[in-house]
Amino acid sequence: MSAPRLVDRHPEIAAQELVAALTPPPRFAEVRFDTYVPNPDEPSQAAAVAAGRAFAARVGAERNTGFFGRMFGKKAPAEPLGLYLDGGFGVGKTHLLASIWHAVPSTAKAYGTFVEITHLVGALGFAEAVRRLSEHRLLAIDEFELDDPGDTTLVSRLLTELTDAGVHVATTSNTLPDKLGEGRFAADDFIREIRSLSARFTVVRVDGPDYRHRGLPDAPDPMSDAEIDAHAATIPGATVDDFTDLCAHLAKLHPSRYGKLVAGVPAVHIKGLTAVPDENVALRVVALADRLYDRAVPVAVSGKPLSALFTEQMLRGGYRKKYLRSISRLTALARDASR
């Protein structure tokens, strides 16, 4: 009997399900500030923990004016309602973001990736998304990035409406807010929107090396196809897919569905890994890698090593940090599979 395949799964997500799912993913369901271990050689990490604690305390202490409170001309807050955790990949920014979410003593809070939030707006409509999210005290957005002009305008409008309503916004990114979109599209054409976003955040820098690989060996070598089949056979429910077929399947699904695509899968096996053919495929693979990492799903591959997933040209381009983060996360999941 052949192993199940991800390409045979066609997840659908209703609008109500999107709202209910706005919580930290399984990997970050139990994290707290106390479980974040700052690198003693990187003082910015301990400072970021302190900033996160203070932000969460402020969110818990302040009263959200809500959607209708905006109509009565509430005075703007003395300081920005946003906290922006900026830094390289693998320094624990998502851990800190989830810790903020857990620390806020309210059920009126939402947590999602950037792509999940933009998809929510598309599914509900802008006005309805603003209405629902405006009743929250906190909106936490992971992996904040502006990859196209449409997202720039949409997110600028959304965060303007939400912060005007008194919603606190915490976010992580690998790019400073005034550099969003740089190297990807004509950011100069949207500088007003980008500056507007920047003004709504207090930026906290988190520096350091990638903790996922601190003192650990490199990624395991790729398996053979036969080894992939044998390994998958030992794990009930593990999937086995051809890399090219999987990439084609991802193109048929909105990235917001990738989490449900791998939900409940105990391990993912991919045959014939090779360098992605273009940037569109590359960004879908990045989104899938993030959802696999969120759910701590081990990944085993045959073909090329994970380090060859993105071309040298891609690693020199505007999405460089995204690609390096993806390799880092997949390497950690490959170690899990080898164990």
Q: Are residues 192 and 248 in the same domain?
A: no
Q: Are residues 175 and 55 in the same domain?
A: yes
E strands in the chain: 82-87, 109-113, 138-142, 168-173, 201-206, 239-242, 268-273, 299-303
Residue that is written with structure tokens 């693998």 in the block = 90
In angstroms, the CA 136 to CA 151 distance is 22
Of 209, 236, 255, which one is at a domain's C-terminal end? 209
Q: What is the largest CA-CA distance in the chain?
A: 67
The answer as to whether 178 is a domain residue is yes
pLDDT at 96 over 90: yes
Mean pLDDT of 209-225: 79
Is 293:333 a contact under the CB 8 Å cutoff?
A: yes
pLDDT, residue 78, reads: 58
Q: Are residues 137 and 243 in the same domain?
A: no
Please tell me the pTM assigned to this model: 0.83
For 263-312, write each residue's pLDDT tens digit: 999 999 999 999 999 999 999 999 999 999 999 999 999 999 999 999 99
At a CB cut-off of 8 Å and minimum separation 6, what does 130 contact? 67, 158, 161, 162, 165
Angle at 301 between CA 297 and CA 305, to 5 degrees: 120
Give the CATH number, domain containing residue 163. 3.40.50.300
Q: Are residues 300 and 261 in the same domain?
A: yes
Local confidence band at 197 (pLDDT 50, 70, 90 cut-offs)? confident
Is 158:130 a contact under the CB 8 Å cutoff?
A: yes
Joined together, the tokens standing for residue 50 give: 């302190």
Q: Are residues 258 and 175 in the same domain?
A: no
From the CB of residue 5, how many other CB atoms can be counted at a distance below 10 Å? 15
Phi–psi pair at 301, nearest 5 degrees: -135, 155
In angstroms, the CA 92 to CA 30 distance is 14
Helix, strand, or coil here: 145?
coil
Joined together, the tokens standing for residue 285 give: 């693979």
The answer as to whether 19 is a domain residue is no
pLDDT at 73 over 80: no
In angstroms, the CA 247 to CA 270 distance is 11
Joined together, the tokens standing for residue 119 give: 């998809």
Give, for 68, the enclosing helix (H) or strand (E): helix 66-69
pLDDT, residue 148, reads: 61
In angstroms, the CA 268 to CA 249 distance is 15
Of 181, 209, 237, which one is at a domain's C-terminal end? 209
The answer as to whether 1 is a domain residue is no
* Tally of structural domains, the chain: 2
Local confidence band at 115 (pLDDT 50, 70, 90 cut-offs)? confident
Helix, strand, or coil here: 332?
helix
Joined together, the tokens standing for residue 304 give: 């090329």
Nearest CA to 292 among 25, 84, 77, 51?
Answer: 25
Local confidence band at 15 (pLDDT 50, 70, 90 cut-offs)? confident
The answer as to whether 266 is a domain residue is yes
Q: Are residues 181 and 296 in the same domain?
A: no
Mean pLDDT of 188-213: 74
Local confidence band at 184 (pLDDT 50, 70, 90 cut-offs)? very low
- The length of the chain in residues reads 339
Domain region containing 292: 6-11+212-338
Local confidence band at 175 (pLDDT 50, 70, 90 cut-offs)? low
Q: Characterize the bridge pairing of strands 168-173 and 82-87.
A: parallel
